[in-house]
Amino acid sequence: MSDPLAVDIAGSSLKYTSHAGVECLIDFSDILCVLSNPAPTYSVLFFQKTELDGSEDFSLKKIDIKSLPAALSPLVTKIPSHLRYEDEPPVVQVVVSTGSGIGKAKTVFQDVVRPLLKYIGLESYELYETESPQTIIELAQSKFLERAHSGVPQTIILLSGDGGLIDILEVFYRSKKAIGVSPNIVLIPCGTGNAMASSIGLRSGPVPGLSTLLRGSPSPVPVFAARFSPGSRLVIDEGRQRADIDTDAHHTLYGAVVASWGLHAALVADSDTFEYRKFGSDRFKMAANELLHPSDGTPPHKFKGKITLTASSGPDEARCQETVDALEHMYALATLVPRLEKEFLISPESVPLDGKMRFIRFGPMSAEEAMHLMTLAYQGGRHVIEDTVTYVDIEAVRIDFQEDEEKWRRVCIDGKIVAVERDGWVEICKEPSRLLNLIN
């Protein structure tokens, strides 16, 4: 450690002269935390903006200071138990998903996460980089699940989109053995939609993710199960191949974010290609545009099927079932979270991690009307007050498909696409058990 520096407060900045004699200012809003070192010194961890090719990045820096100005005392942070090496130290594992979003996870690790772990004195963590879509699944099977079964406390820092969380969730919910200790998962959002991260308030880039890593506490993650009719198949390899949904006979996928059919599922499926992924979250809007304006000039597709909702009501929470009147739909979606992207507030009444599932639907309409509803969703979730939109609290939803063409029978479960068989069905129900914790 170099000699601690003397600091002053100048407005809302910290002022100091570096060892090289340069006058420096750190805006308070760029300070991640202040760590207390052996008395009387402190370390200030702060983000420094770097601009490369017009895109803004951050790297995490540290200075050691001689004394603590009063204005900085609210920023003094104690290392949380999910990172601390004390009584029962957790195994800390960092997963860098190199294929997430526009491929920035590795840079985020190098520039901010690795320095943070070093500054807080956490040197002995396990580091994994994804090499294929299977990497996180294999890690979950060989490491995370094993440790959870044996009751080992573990913290998994995921630099990915929703996909990394969902891969772990699938492995845990398929395991038949009891979980001894649930792992604590920290999301450092590096994906495209980052629905879960956005929903728990991690608004932009990796910076809020680090703050949550340091200041958050664990909450159990609510999950739904989507059970499909037996001939349904997982769509993989940019739509070119099909695979079994699971290895046993349950034909079930698990999710924590969204299950959808209609416009949403179709646009997620169509935009999941290497070419589209280059456009970041704009890929969803681009694919939506193509679905709403078919090249042959016809109106948008009317998705045909019977939708049955199960709700619970009254003091005894009695279950009641209701079939949606119409047999044609444009948008049908069940979600456990408020946001599907940072600004896309699909379910404004949802409270992240409270376990309630909401259903959003609208029927066939013109491309302009559908775009209007989507725009309202980007404007604070105002679509749900429109008369054309159904927005209700549900326990379960079942869809019986009445479509001849497979492309209109595609269902999205947290980004994965399932092609339901002809005359097939899907049932989406809240799952009673909670096997993973999220730091939020």
> Which residues are at the interface with ligand ATP (CB under 6 A)?
97-101, 130-133, 160-164, 191-194, 415
- Residue 30 vs 57, nearer CB to ligand ATP: 57
**Cβ neighbour number for residue 16 with a 10 Å cutoff:** 20
- Closest separation between CB of residue 350 and ligand ATP, Å? 17
Side-chain-side CA neighbours of 182 within 13 Å: the count stands at 16
Cite the beta strand spans of 28-142 per DSSP E.
31-36, 42-52, 55-65, 91-96, 126-129
- Closest separation between CB of residue 277 and ligand ATP, Å? 7
The number of helices, as runs of H, and strands, as runs of E, in the chain is: 11, 27
Strand order in the sheet with 31-36: 31-36, 42-52, 55-65
- Closest separation between CB of residue 135 and ligand ATP, Å? 6
- Closest separation between CB of residue 205 and ligand ATP, Å? 13
**Cβ neighbour number for residue 180 with a 10 Å cutoff:** 12
Say if CB 402 and CB 433 are below 8 A apart: no
- Residue 95 vs 419, nearer CB to ligand ATP: 95
- Residue 90 vs 101, nearer CB to ligand ATP: 101
- Closest separation between CB of residue 330 and ligand ATP, Å? 22
User: Rounded to an integer, what distance in angstroms lies between the CA atom of residue 119 and that of residue 105?
Assistant: 20
User: Rounded to an integer, what distance in angstroms lies between the CA atom of residue 89 and that of residue 81?
Assistant: 8
Close Cβ partners of 385 (under 8 Å, ≥ 6 residues apart): none
- Closest separation between CB of residue 98 and ligand ATP, Å? 4
- Residue 188 vs 311, nearer CB to ligand ATP: 188
- Residue 14 vs 265, nearer CB to ligand ATP: 265
- Closest separation between CB of residue 423 and ligand ATP, Å? 30
Q: Which of 116, 66, 245 is nearest to 173 (CA)?
A: 245
- Residue 159 vs 214, nearer CB to ligand ATP: 159
Secondary structure class of 255 (helix, strand, coil) = strand
Identify the DSSP state of 438.
E
- Residue 256 vs 439, nearer CB to ligand ATP: 256
What is the number of the residue whose Cβ is closest to ligand ATP?
161
